[in-house]
Amino acid sequence: MSAPALPARPSSLAARLRWTAADGLTLVGRELGRLRQEPGELIAALIFPAVMVVLFGYVFGSAITVPGGGNYREYLMPGLFVMVSFTSVMAVTMRVATDASRGVMDRFRAMPMARSAVPFGQAGADLLNGVLALVIMAATGLVVGWRAHRGLWPTAEAFLLLVLLRHALSWAGCFLGLVVRNEQTADQFVPLVFPVTMLSNSFVPTGGMPGWLRAVADWNPVSAATAACRQLFGNPGAPAAHTDLAWPLAHPVAATLLWSIALTAVFAPLSVRTFHRRGR
């Protein structure tokens, strides 16, 4: 018996986009269904933000003075929001590497589906997880005294900026997972994300760092995103006007948007290309 013929690849751009979106949403559903079957992973992902708020807020808060005064937990929360967004790299890398090592990716390549749908599905599923994590962290922050002071629209802009950044980082995680292709190796890369988030203005001011280290911290995308959230939330530590700051800190919203666009523009095509080439 001959094998059934696979559907022809759509010829028009609009048809290809619909095909990719439909297959990608199917894979988003697959990831969410997997979390229902393994609830421990979801529970751990949701507990982590709350633990970070309590741990850093009360341990660091007793020892650090906020520049210009203010509540340290209000200073801290924007940095924790960004830190949780950066966990996207770790989470997606692990999931993609696990699927690749178990042969799931090979089965996807054998199916009549859009090649970009698999990375799209991984990024989409992580985006939903990220939104839920931000909600949990915001609720915990409100309990410990954090507030957004500039009103509804700036607050919404800050959270949209965090979602955009997380989505961009999920593409980077997808690419790394496809390159590594081994869950044990990917697990060794996970701790490398923490120095990136710590070498920033998330938890402590950068003014006391040595000059060369401060320059690295000021140009870190984590610092730009944290400064943008502090500015939009109206929290302590927001960059002041007419001060001598590195460009990303003087224009943190624009810098975060540029980082998000650049990461997506680089890693989205790389993820699709790597997924396609691994099947040859």
Residues 6+ apart with CB under 8 A from 152: none
Average pLDDT, the chain: 81
Print burial letters for 187-217: b (CB count within 10 Å at least 16), e (below 16): eebeeebeeebebbbbbbbbeebeeeebeeb
**Ranges 149-158, 183-192, 206-215, most confident:** 149-158
C-alpha closest to that of 232 among 254, 213, 264, 210:
254
Whether 265 has a pLDDT exceeding 60, the answer reads: yes
- Segment 204-221 mean pLDDT: 87
Which tens digit of pLDDT belongs to each residue from 149-177?
998 999 999 999 999 999 999 999 989 88
With residue 86 as reference, give the H or E element that holds it.
Answer: helix 72-101
Mean pLDDT, to the nearest integer, of 255-280?
87
pLDDT in tens, 101-133: 877 777 777 777 777 777 888 888 888 888 888
Q: Is residue 245's pLDDT more than 90?
A: no
Kindly tell me if the per-residue pLDDT of 88 is higher than 90: no
Residue 98: count of CB within 10 angstroms of its CB: 18
What pLDDT was estimated at residue 237?
82
Residue 40 neighbours by CB distance under 10 Å: 8
Q: Is the pLDDT of residue 145 over 90?
A: no
Query: How many other C-beta atoms are found inside a 10 Å radius of the C-beta of residue 39?
Result: 9
pLDDT the model gives residue 169: 93
Q: What is the pLDDT of residue 57?
A: 78
pLDDT on residue 101: 81
Residue with tokens 């120095």: 195
Kindly give the interhelix angle for 152-180 and 221-233, rounded to the nearest 10 degrees.
160
Confidence of residue 3 (pLDDT cuts 50, 70, 90): very low
Tell which residue, 189, 199, 249, has the closest CA to residue 225.
249
What is the pLDDT averaged over residues 10-30? 68
pLDDT in tens, 39-68: 666 677 667 777 888 888 777 776 677 777
